[in-house]
């Protein structure tokens, strides 16, 4: 007997994780700077330099440029102090190797700064890493058996399983010069960037990505007043993908690698944004396997194993919204900005998701003094459409803050991202079949058995028990060809001689 084997190459999802990592440093203010009275604000911009897959891990390295504003002693104006932090983060992932396709989204979740003394600042950057790794593997299994002249009764299983058929990476840079209105005397303090993808379309050998880079810039004018500037930078980029054909379904994930914004005289904003792209393609396979088999006259020695497989379906875009009230502990005269970074996802049911978020709110009190409040909170949001087992990923959050009572802020969250569904499954793989040389003892002169079937029984199980075939039972009882289960009837079972 010959086992007819089939092999399907695909990419296994071996890492899909969100972790938070902290890096700290101390810095001495320059001699020309005044002493520190109070630190009012801290934030940072990340730049990912390298991500190297190694044995069971990914090494991610880069830097954070932290910007600190502090109020000097006996002065009302704020001083700016930029502090660089280098980081090297190890993301553990069993099975990760040099042949793995890796994708990293690194976001600054929060930057905290405290004055150690009047001349020294300690800065800590909390970084959120969304890490994914895909490994090329092969699913091999027995699809059917060529038994030659020996007839076999075989019960087949057919399951449709979505698998990633391709995973590719690419990168591009968004470059633009923009003219900002009324920006001649502005100083950029911090720039945050989020990517919104509007369209991705497969072409021959490349994928076209159209979207926007959403910039949120904290700026200071010549009077010392702070303001938040929002600016959209549209982009259309092509990424080379070997083997991609025109119109093929494709999913693209994007991550900001670095953000460089310079505001020159005349209000000209020069923008340079490095972007990493992950291009995924999935395909649904009809997997035909053998559930059971027997021979009506001879015993079979069958060996098999359960083969694990991780299915992965790309489920399109995710969107949700939610609200939360955040106590501030003081009266607020003006909200300057609010931002949030997702550091954890819990799917509660088909419609509701709970996000763990790092929230920063910048505001002025009744006296016009600048304050920054940071909270880590679990925010319930409601999805705009049922999830059907999918899990959100690549979450971006837009936050708006408004007064709620005398000392609280009402926060409204607009959440967007993508979705995928990964399920651990198993298939039966027959590895060997041998037939005995001696014939099994029969039932003598008995040619027909009458059996009363009260509860639902599988025809396959009955036929196997009496060493006959389902086709023979169907013919003897005039059952339709698609009948699999019988119940509440007297069944005639022909016995093969």
The average pLDDT across 128-146 equals 96
pLDDT at 497 over 80: no
For residue 438, what pLDDT is reported? 86
The average pLDDT across 150-157 equals 91
Residue 115 backbone phi and psi in degrees, to 5: -85, 115
For residue 445, what pLDDT is reported? 65
For residue 182, what pLDDT is reported? 85
Q: SS3 sequence, 330-397?
A: CCEEEEEEEEEEEEEEEECCCCEEEEEEEEEEEEEECCCCEEEEEEEEEEEEEECCCCCCCEEEEEEE
The three-class DSSP label of residue 410 is strand
The average pLDDT across 270-291 equals 96
Structure tokens at 62: 């880069």
Beta-carbon contacts of residue 105 (< 8 Å; ≥ 6 apart): 128, 129, 130, 255, 256, 394
For residue 75, what pLDDT is reported? 87
**DSSP-derived secondary structure for 262-273:** EEEGGGEEEEEE
pLDDT at 442 over 80: no
Alpha carbon 348 to its chain's center: 17
Residues belonging to the chain: 497
Q: Which helix (H) or strand (E) holds 426?
A: strand 408-439
pLDDT band at 150 (very low <50, low <70, confident <90, very high): confident
Encode pLDDT of 457-470 as tens digits. 999 999 999 889 99
CA angle 125, 126, 132 (to 5 degrees): 130
For residue 300, what pLDDT is reported? 92
For residue 387, what pLDDT is reported? 95
The three-class DSSP label of residue 472 is helix
For residue 487, what pLDDT is reported? 87
The average pLDDT across 350-368 equals 94
> What's the number of CA atoms in the CB half-sphere (13 Å) around residue 5?
10
**Contact call for residues 472 and 454 (beta carbons, < 8 A):** no
Query: What is the pTM for the complete model shown?
Result: 0.90
pLDDT at 149 over 90: no
Torsional sign, CA 417, 420, 421, 425: negative
Q: Rounded distance, CA 285 to CA 269, Å?
A: 49
Encode pLDDT of 252-274 as tens digits. 999 999 999 999 888 899 999 99
- Higher-confidence position of 495 and 108: 108
Encode pLDDT of 205-219 as tens digits. 999 999 999 999 999
In the numeric block, the tokens 């790309």 are attached to: 314
**Contact call for residues 267 and 58 (beta carbons, < 8 A):** no
Buried/exposed 126-160: b ≥16 CB within 10 Å, e otherwise: bbbbbbbbbbebebebbbbbeeeeeebbeeeeeee
Poorest-pLDDT segment among 79-83, 376-380, 481-485: 481-485
**Burial category of 356 from C-beta neighbours within 10 Å (exposed 0-12, middle 13-18, buried 19 and up):** middle
Poorest-pLDDT segment among 35-39, 316-320, 387-391, 452-456: 452-456
**Contact call for residues 91 and 53 (beta carbons, < 8 A):** no
pLDDT at 53 over 70: yes
Q: Rounded distance, CA 337 to CA 226, Å?
A: 10
**Burial category of 10 from C-beta neighbours within 10 Å (exposed 0-12, middle 13-18, buried 19 and up):** buried
Q: Which of 345, 284, 346 is nearest to 314 (CA)?
A: 284
Encode pLDDT of 69-81 as tens digits. 999 998 889 999 9
The average pLDDT across 428-438 equals 92
Mean pLDDT value across the chain: 93
> What's the number of CA atoms in the CB half-sphere (13 Å) around residue 250?
29
Rg (CA), the chain: 32
pLDDT at 31 over 80: yes
For residue 335, what pLDDT is reported? 94
Q: Rounded distance, CA 250 to CA 181, Å?
A: 39
Share of the chain above pLDDT 70, in %: 99
Torsional sign, CA 141, 144, 147, 148: negative
For residue 1, what pLDDT is reported? 78
For residue 266, what pLDDT is reported? 84
In the numeric block, the tokens 């299915």 are attached to: 311
Q: Rounded distance, CA 487 to CA 456, Å?
A: 4
pLDDT at 395 over 70: yes
Poorest-pLDDT segment among 157-166, 353-362, 438-447: 438-447
Strand residue runs (E) in 73-100: 79-92
Q: Which of 194, 107, 129 is nearest to 396 (CA)?
A: 194
pLDDT at 443 over 70: no
Quote the DSSP letter at residue 474: H
Structure tokens at 182: 């009324």
């Amino acid at each position: 007997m010959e086992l007819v084997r089939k092999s399907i190459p695909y990419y296994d999802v071996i890492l899909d994780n969100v972790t938070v990592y902290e890096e700290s440093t101390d810095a001495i203010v320059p001699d020309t700077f005044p002493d520190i009275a109070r630190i009012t604000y801290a934030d940072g911009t990340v730049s990912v330099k390298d991500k190297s897959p190694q044995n069971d891990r990914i090494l991610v390295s880069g830097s954070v440029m932290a910007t600190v504003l502090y109020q000097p002693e006996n002065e009302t104006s704020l001083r700016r102090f930029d502090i660089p932090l280098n980081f090297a983060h190890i993301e553990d992932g069993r099975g990760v190797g040099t042949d793995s396709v890796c994708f990293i989204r690194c976001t600054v979740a929060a930057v905290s700064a405290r004055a150690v003394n009047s001349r020294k600042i300690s800065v800590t950057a909390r970084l959120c890493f969304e890490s994914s790794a895909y490994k090329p593997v092969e699913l091999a299994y027995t699809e059917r058996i060529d038994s030659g002249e020996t007839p076999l009764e075989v019960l087949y299983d057919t399951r449709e399983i979505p698998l990633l058929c391709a995973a590719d990476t690419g990168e591009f840079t968004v470059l633009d010069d923009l003219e900002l209105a009324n920006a001649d005397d502005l100083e950029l303090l911090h720039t945050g960037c989020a990517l919104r993808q509007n369209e991705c379309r497969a072409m021959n050998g490349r994928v076209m990505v159209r979207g926007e880079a959403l910039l949120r810039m904290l700026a200071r004018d010549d009077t010392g007043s702070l303001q938040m500037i929002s600016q959209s930078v549209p982009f259309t980029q092509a990424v080379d993908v070997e083997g991609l054909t025109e119109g093929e379904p494709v999913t693209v994930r994007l991550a900001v690698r670095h953000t460089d914004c310079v505001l020159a005289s005349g209000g000209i904003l020069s923008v340079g944004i490095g972007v990493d792209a992950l291009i995924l393609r999935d395909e649904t396979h009809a997997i035909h396997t053998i559930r059971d088999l027997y021979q009506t006259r001879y015993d079979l020695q069958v060996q098999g194993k359960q083969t694990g497989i991780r299915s992965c379906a790309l489920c399109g875009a995710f969107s949700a919204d939610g609200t939360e009230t955040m106590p501030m502990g003081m009266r607020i005269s003006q909200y300057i900005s609010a931002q949030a970074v997702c550091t954890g996802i819990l799917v509660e049911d088909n419609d509701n998701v709970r996000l763990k978020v790092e929230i920063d709110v910048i505001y002025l009190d009744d006296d016009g003094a600048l304050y920054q409040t940071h909270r880590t909170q679990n925010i319930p949001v409601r999805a705009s459409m049922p999830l059907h087992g999918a899990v959100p990923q690549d979450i971006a959050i837009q936050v708006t803050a408004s007064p709620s009572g005398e000392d609280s802020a009402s926060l409204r969250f607009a959440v967007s991202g993508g979705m995928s569904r990964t399920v651990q499954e198993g298939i039966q793989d027959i590895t060997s079949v041998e037939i005995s040389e001696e014939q099994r003892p029969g039932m003598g002169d008995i040619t027909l058995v009458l059996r009363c079937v009260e509860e639902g029984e599988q025809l396959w199980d009955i036929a196997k028990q009496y060493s006959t075939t389902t086709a023979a039972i169907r013919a003897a009882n005039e059952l339709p060809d698609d009948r699999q289960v019988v119940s509440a009837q007297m069944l005639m079972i022909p016995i093969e001689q």
